[in-house]
């Protein structure tokens, strides 16, 4: 059993949640999460949630890909087309509406799994430092609605998830908005961290250790 699958197996069988919801965007991280979960859990227990923010020209195509992939895996999917204003803090508004959508499907004992990985943890923590909020990590688990939100892949570098998908011959899609540096996270990811990596190649592991 691959280590990604083993991690999910141990989480599910130790906590024994009711329904297992998966936040799915068709990116590498959420695709690895969903594929691995279907290999260790009865697919009838899984509900996939896709939030279409309608902020990119290809958002409809992404939605279609998510539905098709879920049909191939035999899992149920719910799609929500969010209304997100392009004024103000788009990232914050989109996040708030996305989590409100997720929480509506969680009942007592249910889990929502997100595919955040080690790099996401580093990026988020640095952003919070730059915003003056302190070195605050994303939680591995926290309440959401009536259920529980969990991030079982936080200790995995993104490369491990990509390698898993390659082994399983599964494809994923890259969000074209990731290149838009008007978003804080994209600026940290594409400008700050690559510069840091030139000097300190192992920065991600080191920062992750400090954050934890």
Q: Across all residues in the chain, what is the average pLDDT? A: 88
Residue 138: predicted pLDDT: 82
Cβ atoms of 117 and 29 within 8 Å: the answer is: yes
Which pLDDT belongs to residue 131? 80
Res 196: pLDDT: 86
Q: CA angle, 146 as apex, 16 and 105 as ends, to 5°? A: 85
Give the pLDDT confidence of 185-208 residue by residue, as tens digits.
788 888 888 888 889 988 888 887
152 has a pLDDT exceeding 90: yes
Residues 6+ apart with CB under 8 A from 74: 38, 43
Instruction: Kindly tell me if the per-residue pLDDT of 31 is higher than 90.
Output: yes
Report pLDDT digits (tens) over 71-122.
999 999 999 998 877 676 777 788 889 999 999 999 999 999 999 999 888 8
Least confident of 17-21, 123-127, 163-167: 123-127
CA distances from 14 to 10, 17, 63, 154 (A): 6, 9, 32, 18
Query: CA-CA distance, 141 to 190, in Å (whole number)?
Result: 28
Helix (H, G, I), strand (E, B) or coil at 27: coil
Tell me the β-bridge partners of 111: 20, 148
Instruction: Taking residues 61-73, report their average pLDDT.
Output: 93
DSSP 139-172: PSEEEETTEEEE-TTTTS-HHHHHHHHHHHT---
Residue-level pLDDT at 179 = 62
pLDDT at 3 over 80: yes
Closest CA to 122 of 110, 112, 109, 136: 136
């Amino acid at each position: 059993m691959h280590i990604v699958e083993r991690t999910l197996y141990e989480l599910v069988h130790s906590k024994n949640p009711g329904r297992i919801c998966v936040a799915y965007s068709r990116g590498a991280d959420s695709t690895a999460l969903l594929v691995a979960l279907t290999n260790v859990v009865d697919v009838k227990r899984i509900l996939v949630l896709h939030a279409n923010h309608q902020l990119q020209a290809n958002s409809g195509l992404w939605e279609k890909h998510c539905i098709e992939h879920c049909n191939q895996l035999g899992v149920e999917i719910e799609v929500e087309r969010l209304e997100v204003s392009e004024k103000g803090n788009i990232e914050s508004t989109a996040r708030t509406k996305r989590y409100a959508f997720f929480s509506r499907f969680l009942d007592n004992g249910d889990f929502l799994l997100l595919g955040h990985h080690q790099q996401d943890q580093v990026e988020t923590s640095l952003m919070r430092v730059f915003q003056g909020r302190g070195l605050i990590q994303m939680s591995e688990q926290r309440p959401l609605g009536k259920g529980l939100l969990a991030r079982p892949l936080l200790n995995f570098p993104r490369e491990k998830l990509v390698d898993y998908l390659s082994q399983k011959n599964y494809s994923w899609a890259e969000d074209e908005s990731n290149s838009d540096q008007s978003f804080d996270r994209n600026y940290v990811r594409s400008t700050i961290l690559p510069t840091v990596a030139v000097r300190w190649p192992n920065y991600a592991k080191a920062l992750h250790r400090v954050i934890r």
